Amino acid sequence: MNDQAAGTKVATVGGVNIHYEDVGQGPVVVLLHGSGPGATGRSNFVKNIDYLARNFRVICPDLPGFGKSDMKPVDAPIPGWWADQILSLLNHLEVDKAHFVGNSMGGMITLKIALEHPARVDRMVLMGSGGGSSIFSLFPTDGIKSLVNFYEGTGPSIEKLKNFIGQFVYDASALTDDLLQERLDAAMDPRIVAQPPMRPGLAGMPEELWRDSRLTQLPHETLLLWGREDRVMPMDMGLILMRQIPRCRFMVMPQCGHWVQWEHAEEFNRIVCTFLEN
């Protein structure tokens, strides 16, 4: 069915309502957003969806626990449960295979899908991806601590959000009041306040995918894009993934933080289209 108010579609898979955008025609590209407070598919990829839809069918969901989608169960493992939900959505849409573009947690979900169901993935683009391990930098970073603690203590606030989002980008002056308010409004959804999606639950901490020996057997053409000044997932976290995934390229963006697709949108769009069309 269509949700006219939100301008998105809604699919019910396994009893979970997932809101998503589905635009364009051609090979399917799935965009998976990160886990910051107030994150949604549209907010993470607002500068990319229309461009990619010129040549691809773009599917961009709000992951359960974010945006208008249903909540993630507290005992659901990270990232495995989300990976299963995305595959269920693609089954619902009768999509057998797709390119995946994942930012941060979305990159970790993409890797999990590739490891468990490699035939469902064509090419992968991972930006500041989770699932790796830091070699030189202290981890967890202040950015990760801000993310995990956003709903704790005094609860969510615009001050906390400014501090957190400010660590996402190289140039914080690019953050508009409208963007911050939009993220805060989404983060203040009472369902999410009561059950933050990244709060460690009964399933424990996120899976350390970099320890999975199957990474060395992945057949997928893979592009890692990283901001040199990423203060959430430091650039050196990508080195282990680059070394393990056989057909992996690693490109570093200067003067860029955690949101490559937002801070360097024009270059990102060109690079990703060229990579996926090759």
* Cα 62 to Cα 42: distance, rounded to the nearest angstrom: 8
The catalytic position among 19, 33, 220, 258 is 258
Examine the residue annotation and report whether 117 is marked as an active-site residue of this protein.
Answer: no
Q: What is the 3-state secondary structure (H, E, C) of the chain?
A: CEECCCCEEEEEECCEEEEEEEECCCCEEEEECCCCCCCCHHHHHCCCHHHHCCCCEEEEECCCCCCCCCCCCCCCCCCHHHHHHHHHHHHHCCCCCEEEEEECHHHHHHHHHHHHCHHHEEEEEEECCCCCCCCCCCCCCHHHHHHHCCCCCCCCCHHHHHHHHHCCCCCHHHCCHHHHHHHHHHHCCHHHHHCCCCCCECCECCCCHHHCHHHHHCCCCEEEEEECCCCCCCCCHHHHHHHHCCCEEEEEECCCCCCHHHHCHHHHHHHHHHHHHC
238 Cβ contact partners less than 8 Å away, ≥ 6 residues apart: 129, 132, 224, 226, 250
| Total Cβ atoms within 10 A of residue 118 | 13
Q: Are 13 and 83 in contact (CB under 8 A)?
A: no
Q: List, by residue number, the catalytic residues.
A: 258
